[in-house]
Amino acid sequence: MTRSVGDRRGTPRGAATGSALITGGAGFIGTNLADRLLSDGRVVTIFDNLSRPGVDRNLRWLCDRHGASVRVEIGDIRDARAVKRAVRDATQVFHFAAQVAVTTSLLDPLNDFEVNARGTLNLLEAMRARPDPPSIVFTSTNKVYGDLEDLALDAGSTRYSPSDAAVCRYGVSEARPISFHSPYGCSKGTADQYVLDYARTFKVPGAVFRMSCIYGPHQCGTEDQGWVAHFLINAIKGKPITVYGDGMQVRDILFVDDLVEAFLRAQANMDSISGQAFNIGGGPSNTTSLVELFDCIETLHGERPELEFDNWRAADQRYYVSDTRRFRNATGWHAKTSVGAGLEALYRWLQQSRARLPMQLASDTVAP
């Protein structure tokens, strides 16, 4: 994998020096990023409350693999004092700590707000208090664009396709007006806007990734988050999968190694991209419908998982594909891992890790 770009876009803002802070660092994305940074010789602080099932195993894996280079602070993003301690010597921040699910936000909007919106503000305030604030990359969501009900679609045999030729070719761009839908969309959208405004108003260097579907090793997906891994886990266990909608909804999926490279490119180019939001995903060349994904799983696993269908859920998008041209133009980044190669890598990792998977998933349903 390419470590940096060779032109002006690869010139970092103090890159590869000092301590990196990863909030939610024991999670799937945090673990993969931490492993990359630690392998590159960085000191990394993992800030996590370890509330998500399975993340304690990720943290043990990182500590066993990298030893004293891993600094661990068990804390909650809602605790302003704990956040301030975690930020104290960081030169770069990657903010992943979050309530991650639309479904959970519908059940408890107050907790969703406190974690996603207030927690992000706690972090930004701790950064702003520093004489030389560290730079931040924040993982937002495509849900800030709402359910995209106004996007005209044509139904094919296995997927929906946009009627608009430009959207079909490039995907949804950052020019799309934000339209928060669901408490989760509101809380992540609020955090998204705070990061952008702190860059403008307080000169806290920051960029926002409005992310599509990410998948890869160290992901143990559930109903609420990580649907690609969830489908594969259920296939391996011989458990049925319930799909909300008709299965023809389309997403661009991005392998986690490619996302990690995007994070590093963002920090390396922070001087030029600060204050901007970018749509990050696999793009038009890495899309799949659920129906097509089940075909891939059948090829990998040797049998098709048992499917059950239910009604569409609130804020479901029938089509979302990221237009990543803005970030590519700014940093030279592009996704390198194909859907087939990425799925096979995750499937092999899940097979090898099967003995360490949870004995029973909380639920067998998922909505991407």
Does residue 15 register a pLDDT over 70?
A: no
pLDDT at 339: 97
- Whole-number Å distance between alpha carbons of 283 and 211: 11
Which residues are 107's β-sheet partners? none
- 239, 304 in Cβ contact below 8 A? no
Does residue 327 register a pLDDT over 90?
A: yes
Q: What is the pLDDT of residues 223-232, one digit of tens each?
A: 667 899 999 9
- Whole-number Å distance between alpha carbons of 351 and 357: 10
* DSSP secondary structure string for all residues of 163-224: SSHHHHHH-B-TTSPP---HHHHHHHHHHHHHHHHHHHHS---EEEEEE-EEE-TT----SS
Q: Which of 184, 215, 319, 347 is catalytic?
A: 184
- What integer is the mean pLDDT of 67-76? 96
Higher pLDDT, 368 or 254: 254
Higher pLDDT, 238 or 361: 238
pLDDT at 54: 83
pLDDT at 53: 84
pTM score, two decimals?
0.91
Annotated active-site residue 198? The verdict is no
Does residue 320 register a pLDDT over 50?
A: yes
Q: In this structure, is residue 289 part of a structural domain?
A: yes
- 65, 36 in Cβ contact below 8 A? no
Q: What is the pLDDT of residues 122-170, one digit of tens each?
A: 999 999 999 999 999 999 999 999 999 999 999 999 999 999 999 999 9
Q: In this structure, is residue 3 part of a structural domain?
A: no
Q: In this structure, is residue 90 part of a structural domain?
A: yes
pLDDT at 356: 55
Domain that holds residue 155: 8-366
Q: How many CB atoms lie within 10 A of CB 39?
A: 11
Task: Say which CATH number the domain at 198 has.
Answer: 3.40.50.720
pLDDT at 101: 87
Q: In this structure, is residue 1 part of a structural domain?
A: no
pLDDT at 214: 96
CA 55 to chain centroid, in Å, comes to 15
pLDDT at 216: 97
Q: What is the pLDDT of residues 266-301, one digit of tens each?
A: 999 999 999 999 999 999 999 999 999 999 999 999
Percentage of the chain modeled with pLDDT above 70: 91
Q: In this structure, is residue 2 part of a structural domain?
A: no
Poorest-confidence range of 31-35, 198-202, 305-309, 350-354? Answer: 350-354
Q: How many domains does the chain have?
A: 1
- 49, 72 in Cβ contact below 8 A? no
pLDDT at 367: 39
pLDDT band at 200 (very low <50, low <70, confident <90, very high): very high
pLDDT band at 16 (very low <50, low <70, confident <90, very high): low
pLDDT band at 103 (very low <50, low <70, confident <90, very high): confident
